Amino acid sequence: MQTYLLIAAALLYALCALLPSPRGALISGVTAGAWLLHGAALWFDMMAPGSVRIGFALMISAALWISVAAYWIENRNFALDGLRRLVMPCAAAAALLPAVFPGSVLQLEGRAPAFGWHIAVAILAYSTLTIAAFHAVLMALQETRLHARNPQAGWLATALDQLPALLTMEKLLFRLIWIGFVLLSLTVLSGIVFSEQVFGTVLKWDHKSVFTLLSWFLFAALLAGRRWRGWRGKTALRFTLAGFATLVLAYVGSRFVLEVVLHRGLA
């Protein structure tokens, strides 16, 4: 059933990307329908009695699911039609990824009852910060286009021209980073608790812990610099992308190598 839901969601996302701009109510309705189908598919695919399925494809799919929700909510406050033309095709592709790369099943039996919540918060943190990185890339492209002497035409150029002003985009970026940082902080704290229960140490110093903590420090430095030094523009974009890159190395990148390159399950 999950596969059919994912296909239906992908088709609706594709339709939403192709709908003409003036049809706001129709676009909003199609987006909501695709988002609900996508969310139901993720829930049935990830959650099962006594176990949870995780993998790089599910992480990417969840990131785009949250991205669509952020677009749908913020579109009520800002004109984000250009963002729709960029987000929806990516969401359509991401919705189908779990059907191709199903990931691995993690048994929850014998673990603390809150361990499932730790995984859920971690997925939300990774997903939100993935959106922030995608948003930062859009801002970099938007700024490059503004300073180009002979800006080229095309589908991407049209979508970039329809984005809000850079100052508005920057406000949205830091809103996403704050949400992601809070979720990442909860992930780190709950991870320390479960590490002590499972491994008998406060923190297991493997590559996941090191890169996750490095990502946390980068985002903390960015938010502190924004608050006390007024960091913005290219500095904010560099810190955002650096923090996201280390987060990818912490989990999604390693899962991709294990599942696709080495054909291994949970490590």
- pLDDT per residue as tens, the chain (267 positions): 678 888 999 999 999 888 887 666 888 888 899 999 999 988 888 776 677 777 778 888 888 888 888 888 877 776 677 778 888 998 999 999 888 887 777 776 666 666 767 777 888 888 888 888 888 888 888 888 777 666 666 667 777 777 778 888 888 888 889 999 999 998 888 777 765 554 445 556 666 777 888 889 999 999 999 888 887 778 888 888 888 888 877 765 555 444 444 455 444
What is the DSSP-derived secondary structure letter of residue 151? Answer: P
C-alpha to C-alpha distance for 172 and 92, rounded to whole angstroms: 23
Q: What is the pLDDT of residue 262?
A: 44
91 within domain boundaries: yes
pTM score, two decimals? 0.75
List the domain range (segments joined by +) for residue 105.
Answer: 2-261
Q: What is the pLDDT of residue 25?
A: 80
C-alpha to C-alpha distance for 235 and 186, rounded to whole angstroms: 26
What six digits make up the tokens of 230?
């007024």
267 within domain boundaries: no
Are 68 and 34 in contact by the 8 Å Cβ rule? The answer is yes
C-alpha to C-alpha distance for 101 and 56, rounded to whole angstroms: 8
136 within domain boundaries: yes
Are 160 and 82 in contact by the 8 Å Cβ rule? The answer is yes
Total structural domains within the chain: 1
Q: What is the pLDDT of residue 22?
A: 64
Phi, psi of 33 (to 5 degrees): -65, -45
Structural Rg of the chain based on CA atoms: 19
Phi, psi of 54 (to 5 degrees): -130, 160
266 within domain boundaries: no
Q: What is the pLDDT of residue 55?
A: 75
Q: What is the pLDDT of residue 197?
A: 55
